[in-house]
Amino acid sequence: TVELRTLIPKGFEVIGALAYGADADAQAAVYAARRLRKLLYGEEEGDNRPVIGAVAAGSGELKFFVSESGKSNSLEEVDSVVEEEHSEKYVWENGCLVRCELPIKLPVYYPLKNTSDVEKAFVRAIEAVVAKLRDSQAVYMLEALNKTSMDLPAPIVIRGGHLDFRADLSNIWPLAEGGDNFDVNSLPCSYFSVISKGSSGFSVENADTIQVSVLFNSLGPSSASAVPVAEYIPAQDEARLLVVDIKLDVLCYASKKLPLRHAVSRLIIPGLADQLNALQNSMLPNLLGQHPQIKPYHFSPPHVLHPITVFYELSFGETEMKQVEVRRSLHTRLGLPFDRPLLRIANALDFSKLKNGGLGSQQKGSTLLRDVHIGIPNSGVSGGSVSLVQGSYEYFHYLQDGFNDSGWGCAYRSLQTIISWFRLQNYSSIEVPSHREIQQSLVEIGDKDPSFVGTRDWIGAIELSFVLDKLLGVTCKVINVRSGAELPEKCRELALHFETQGTPIMIGGGVLAYTLLGVDYNEASGDCAFLILDPHYTGTDDLKKIVNGGWCGWKKAVDSKGKNFFLHDKFYNLLLPQRPNMV
């Protein structure tokens, strides 16, 4: 139940359930929804709010029923249903994120004669923190988390559920809308909406974000003089102090119409209490041993409209089997694939680096061009089916980083692009290796002599597979083609690779190497085109120049002028890196 409360952020509610199959029953769906609400929110099954029961029959038709009263088993079918065509846009156009990060050093005193009392002392300390959060004198400061904007609304301070302080809002907030009867305590979350979405769209990554800070050490409203007071209570038996480090990080969803004070009282405070209780349960079994390093992380996995929060215990690292099983379980519950790492720390939302008003992940940045194929002209294949690389990559080419590899480094550059793909998909955190580091890897595995390091010798598909295996643990499939004329015959197999594996392919043949990013293939006519990323480019990283010059574009085996792109008198090896089966 505690885990579900973190997977469903505060601000979202369970309003119903769906039953599907030949024997689907709307009453069973309503009952299931009530049970889940009771588990999550402590509500009784007799809760009077309406519950929706949806039924998907074998025909695929979807019907909705409403149970108006929790005490009644009567259902009323809904005649008219309004369906949002763009759910993600609706959710984030009308709502925002509210975040509170709270590190706590929790002092716990326990008698040495009876160490079992440490658990009781720890529970009492947790309860004291929760009580302090809910105290009427607790102070919370709210501010916009968009560091890139120069025109930020003034921060708001809330004490005891009411606005304790506000700056001059006359030029920021349209008070005239409320007229003379405007109540500052009804100030909504939209007060902090400062982000212009533009072409970036509405999503978790581009959501307006409100940062909430807890101000424990604050002066009371009284102006009366007072002297400091210290109370000394001697321990009856020899005692020891245990300081427990706790890191809370709550992320909630709030309607932009919700008053800011309710965002604190109904979302943030209950969220902090839930996290404290969850951490208490995790830490109790081993309080006097090595404290587990438990920390919350926020993720926005694909096809899940809202963010999720996950607690990771990283005492033994991220690849330790216990941690892998935690991620595997989460993939199962969220319906995520098992062949890609979507919930690793590198995927977590990074609130410290907002880019253009949007959230980034914790993946290290780079100045290189990414995904240069997006937006290029179509292939010209009539009635074809396009299969493309999945995810992001960086474009590596001749003369980058001031290193002159013109005439010999094209396979090295293709390998760097492939490794960048594995980095950006969070399969690996290693830096993209230099030419010398690639050569050194081949020497270390015994494929090359030590004299190979520092040379300008070419490498091919087989050497690339050795390096990928050594540096990333990635296996590769190699397709041998005797002549460039036979490459179109491999289009069906290449399309299957992009649809199932999604990794960039290296094509090596004769004296040239290319990176293949996709194919457009008409199975009926056999017509096809290859999306080529050419590492032989020697100019600056100018996207327009690269695309207009054909350094990234669709290439037919034989162009309109009868020229062969792939040489008929040369053999080709195609290196197909396989996506690791890991979470």
Region 185-196 average pLDDT:
82
Q: Regarding predicted confidence, which is higher, 99 or 224? A: 99
Assess contact for 44 and 38: CB atoms under 8 A. yes
Cβ atoms of residues 270 and 144 within 8 Å = no
Buried b or exposed e, range 460-472, using 16+ CB within 10 angstroms: ebebbbbbbeebb
Mean pLDDT (whole number) for 202-218: 83
Residue in 266, 74, 302 with CA at minimum distance from that of residue 189: 266
Residue 520 has pLDDT above 80, yes or no: yes
pLDDT band at 79 (very low <50, low <70, confident <90, very high): confident
Quick one: three-class SS letters along 190-242? Answer: HHHCCCCCHHHCCCCCCCCEEEEEEECCCCCCCCCCCCCCCCCCCCCCCEEEE
Q: Which of 208, 274, 527, 534 is catalytic?
A: 534
Judge whether 552 counts as a catalytic residue: no
Q: What is the mean pLDDT of residues 95-114?
A: 90
pLDDT digits (tens, 9 = 90+) for 366-398: 789 999 999 999 998 999 999 999 999 999 999
Other CB atoms within a 10 A radius of the CB of residue 322 amount to: 9
* pLDDT tens column, 391-424: 999 999 999 989 999 999 999 999 999 999 999 9
- C-alpha 439/C-alpha 452 separation (Å) is 7
Task: Give 270's DSSP letter.
Answer: H
Catalytic position from the list 189, 252, 410, 491 = 410
pLDDT at 199: 45
Active-site residue, 397 included: no
| Cα(150)–Cα(196) distance, integer angstroms | 13
Asked whether the beta carbons of 343 and 7 are under 8 A apart, the reply is: no
**Side-chain half-sphere exposure of 315, counting CA atoms within 13 A:** 10
- Distance between CA atoms of 447 and 465, rounded to whole angstroms? 12
7-11, 172-176, 203-207 — which is least confidently predicted? 172-176
Residue 444 gets which letter from DSSP? H
Instruction: Tell me which residue has tokens 């008053």.
Output: 259
Instruction: Categorise residue 357: left if φ over 0, alpha if ψ from -120 to 50, beta otherwise.
Output: left
> What's the pLDDT at 193?
84
**Does 64 or 3 have the greater pLDDT score?**
64
Reading the block at residue 90, the tokens are 């609706």
What are the distances in angstroms from CA 79 to CA 21, 62, 82? 21, 12, 10
How much is the average pLDDT of 249-259?
Answer: 95
Q: What is the 3-state secondary structure of 37-81? A: HHHHHCCCCCCCCCEEEEEECCCCCEEEEEECCCCCCCCEECCCC
Residue 322: phi and psi, rounded to 5, are -60, -40
With CA atoms as reference, report the closest residue to 430 among 354, 346, 506, 541: 346
For residues 346, 351, 355, 356, the Cα torsion angle rounded to the nearest 10 degrees is 150
Cβ(14)–Cβ(40) under 8 Å? yes
541-552 mean pLDDT: 95
pLDDT of residue 363: 59
Identity of the highest mean pLDDT range in 121-125, 300-304, 512-516: 512-516
- CB 567, CB 484: distance < 8 Å: yes
**569/414: higher pLDDT:** 414
Is residue 581 classed exposed, middle or buried when 0-12, 13-18 and 19+ CB atoms within 10 A define those classes? Answer: exposed
Q: How far apart are CA 155 and CA 141, in angstroms?
A: 7
Least confidently predicted of 64-73, 120-129, 184-193, 319-328: 64-73
The answer to whether 410 is a known catalytic residue is: yes
What's the mean pLDDT in 358-362? 61
- Report how far residue 311's alpha carbon sits from residue 249's, in angstroms, rounded to the nearest whole number: 10
Q: Which residue has the higher pLDDT, 235 or 130?
A: 130
Element (H, E) at 410: helix 410-424
Res 131: pLDDT: 92
What does the pLDDT look like over 267-297, one tens digit per residue? 999 999 999 988 888 888 778 776 667 889 9
What confidence score (pLDDT) does residue 178 get? Answer: 46
What SS3 string covers 143-204?
A: EECCCCCCCCCCCEEEECCEEEECCCCCCCCCHHHHHHHCCHHHCEHHHHCCCCCHHHCCCC
Average pLDDT, stretch 36-61? 76
**Mind listing the domains of the chain with CATH numbers?**
2-83 (no CATH), 92-218+237-309 (no CATH), 385-577 (3.90.70.130)
What pLDDT was estimated at residue 219? 52
pTM of the predicted structure, to 2 decimals: 0.74
Local confidence band at 38 (pLDDT 50, 70, 90 cut-offs): confident
**Residue 353, helix vs strand vs coil:** strand
Res 217: pLDDT:
60
Q: What is the reported pLDDT for 411?
A: 97
- What number is the average pLDDT over the span 344-353? 83
